[in-house]
Structure 1
Amino acid sequence: MARDLAWALANSDLIHDRATLDASIAAMAPAIARDFAGDVPVFLTVMHGGLPFAGRLAMEVGALGMDLEFDYLHATRYRGETSGGALTWKHRPATPLRGRRVLLADDILDEGHTLDAIMRWCRAEGATDVRIAALAVKKHDRCVPGIRADYAGVDVPDRYVFGYGMDFQQQGRALPVIRALTDEALREL
């Protein structure tokens, strides 16, 4: 059943506020600047969800004097649904990856199927190093083996989360917080 954002807000819990998210993103920047010192990595934003996080992270890294080459990709398994299906590529990066280091910026590392496929594609395109920066990491034991966030912001519970790039039925990506639907609300969907 389709619900609107007002319903989702009324039937969810605040998981992380804006100050916590801003601080966690700022805390990732020094490690990224250190690990990529001397390089200008291809900074790939995973659309749509990664956009708010990637923009903020890029500014934090830039404030440390590090340059990034921006591009984006759009690969999805969800298409507005609550569970993933087959990977669909909507846009591949235009920047050649051969011989380049890549930093993927995404909103969440959940089970990792999408990021695993993206990483494998980047390597097939000749990227020499592919790392993941994720705003949120969902806490469970279902992640694809070998997939992890090299730079992680916050942990989130194993619930339907939305905000800061993550959507609730294609709504709420612009919320500056992360919220999670209550179990009761999830049963109503």
Structure 2
Amino acid sequence: MHRRVFKESRESEIGSLLLSEGVIRQRVKALAADIHTAYSPVPFTIVGLLNGSLLFTADLLRELPPETEVVFWRVKSYRGTLSSGNPEGLEAEGGEFAGRRVLVVDDILDSGCTLSAVEKRLRALGASSVEYCVLLAKQRARPPGFPVPRWVGFEIPDRFVVGYGLDYNGRYRGLSSIRMLEEEKILPGGAESAG
């Protein structure tokens, strides 16, 4: 009991609660059921985008049939709180995707640049179809022509969030909830305040 109280008080210091662990868990189960219905009985491959989608992808996978294939690609597009708009690491990623239906799983849809670059790479590797599932989609305008996820867990305000795989400079990924990082924790240039 003491550990739980400590955990809750530490999380509240990071930022205000946006989505609780229970709400996230329920939504992930519903998304998995919809995905299973859409793809069954034809096999498909999940491409989880690291590091942010690790927890989300793992939880989705636990709700899908055991034969569901999953691979992870390491793609980085954030520095501090800013999206670079130019995902790094895709050129090193590969796999056997010829003729495969692919579901890209990501933690958050921000600018849309990451999903667009991932789709281009998967098409070059021969994927027959590419669809998207994101846990979070920020409520903001995106340029025309960018991918639109078929599955979205939650629409959220255009704020910087952490927890459940989402990080700020490598921190807060392990939070069980999703929180809006308090502005005073962020210094100009994306560095984190010590206090």
Residue 22 of structure 2: SS of its match in structure 1? helix
Residue in structure 1 matched with residue 104 of structure 2 by the alignment: 104
Residue in structure 1 matched with residue 53 of structure 2 by the alignment: 50
Residue 142 of structure 1, CA deviation: 3.1
Residue 68 of structure 1, CA deviation: 1.0
Residue 81 of structure 1, CA deviation: 2.3
- How big is each residue's C-alpha offset from its partner over 1:131-172, in whole Å with a ceiling of 9 and x where there is no partner? 111111111113563322211111221111010110022101
Query: What one-letter code is carried by the residue in structure 2 that aligns with 1:48?
Result: N
Q: Tell me the TM-score normalised to structure 2 length.
A: 0.83
Q: Distance in 1 between matches of 2:170 and 2:143?
A: 24
Q: Distance in 2 between matches of 1:148 and 1:112?
A: 8
1:25 counterpart (11, 23, 28): 28
Larger radius of gyration: 2
Q: Distance in 2 between matches of 1:142 and 1:129?
A: 22
Residue 82 of structure 1, CA deviation: 1.8
Residue in structure 1 matched with residue 77 of structure 2 by the alignment: 77
1:60 counterpart (59, 63, 86): 63
Unaligned runs of 5+ in 2: 1-8
Q: Distance in 2 between matches of 1:143 and 1:68?
A: 33
Query: What one-letter code is carried by the residue in structure 1 that aligns with 2:81?
Result: T
Give the 3 Å change call, closer, same or farther, for CA 68–109 of structure 1 in structure 2: same
Q: Distance in 2 between matches of 1:127 and 1:182?
A: 40
RMSD: 2.2
Contact (CA 8 Å) 2:11, 2:175: kept in 1 or not? Answer: no
Residue 73 of structure 1: SS of its match in structure 2? strand
Q: Tell me the TM-score normalised to structure 1 length.
A: 0.85
Q: Distance in 2 between matches of 1:185 and 1:145?
A: 35
Q: Distance in 1 between matches of 2:11 and 2:186?
A: 10
Give the 3 Å change call, closer, same or farther, for CA 97–76 of structure 1 in structure 2: same
Residue in structure 2 matched with residue 178 of structure 1 by the alignment: 178
Which protein, 1 or 2, shows the higher relative CO under an 8 Å CA cutoff with sep ≥ 6?
1
Q: Distance in 2 between matches of 1:144 and 1:83?
A: 21
Residue in structure 1 matched with residue 123 of structure 2 by the alignment: 123
Residue 115 of structure 1, CA deviation: 1.2
Contact (CA 8 Å) 1:14, 1:178: kept in 2 or not? Answer: yes
